[in-house]
Amino acid sequence: MSFKVVSTCNIPFVVKNLGERFHALEEVEFANKPCLTENDIISNASDANAVVVGAEPYTRRVIDSLKSCRLIATPKMGYDNIDIAAATEAGICVSCVAAVSTEEVSDHTMALLLACARKVFKVDKAVRAGVWRSIHGPEMEEIWQGILPLRGQTLGLIGFGQIPRALVPKAKGFGLRVLVYDPYVPAEVTKDMGAETVGFDQLLQESDFVSVLCALTPENRHMLGAEQFKMMKPTAYLINTARGPLVDEKALYASLIAGEIAGAALDVIEVEPIVLDNPLLKLDNAIITGHSGHYSDRAIANIRHRPFEDVSRILSGEWPRGWVNPEVEAKYQAKWGNPFRKVM
Among residues 243, 294, 306, 313, the one annotated as catalytic is 243
Contacts of 183 by beta carbon, 8 Å cutoff, 6+ apart: none
- Strand runs (DSSP E) across 175-262, as ranges? 177-181, 196-197, 209-212, 237-240
Summarize pLDDT for 11-47 with one digit per residue, the tens: 999 999 999 999 888 889 999 999 999 999 999 999 9
In CATH, which of 3.90.10.10, 3.40.50.800, 3.40.50.720, 3.40.50.970 is domain 3-100+297-336? Answer: 3.40.50.720
Among residues 60, 136, 222, 291, the one annotated as catalytic is 291
- Dihedral of alpha carbons 128, 133, 135, 140, sign: positive
pLDDT at 342 over 80: no
Every domain of the chain and the residues it spans: 3-100+297-336, 102-288
Alpha-carbon dihedral angle through residues 331, 332, 334, 336, given to the nearest 10 degrees: 160
In Å, how far from its chain's centre is CA 18?
23
Is 243 considered catalytic here? yes
Summarize pLDDT for 103-156 with one digit per residue, the tens: 999 999 999 999 999 999 999 999 998 888 665 677 788 888 899 999 999 999
Is 221 considered catalytic here? no
Among residues 141, 142, 272, 327, the one annotated as catalytic is 272
Residue % of the chain over a pLDDT of 70: 96
Higher pLDDT, 183 or 99: 183
In CATH, which of 3.40.50.300, 1.10.443.10, 3.40.50.720, 3.60.20.30 is domain 102-288? Answer: 3.40.50.720
Is 272 considered catalytic here? yes
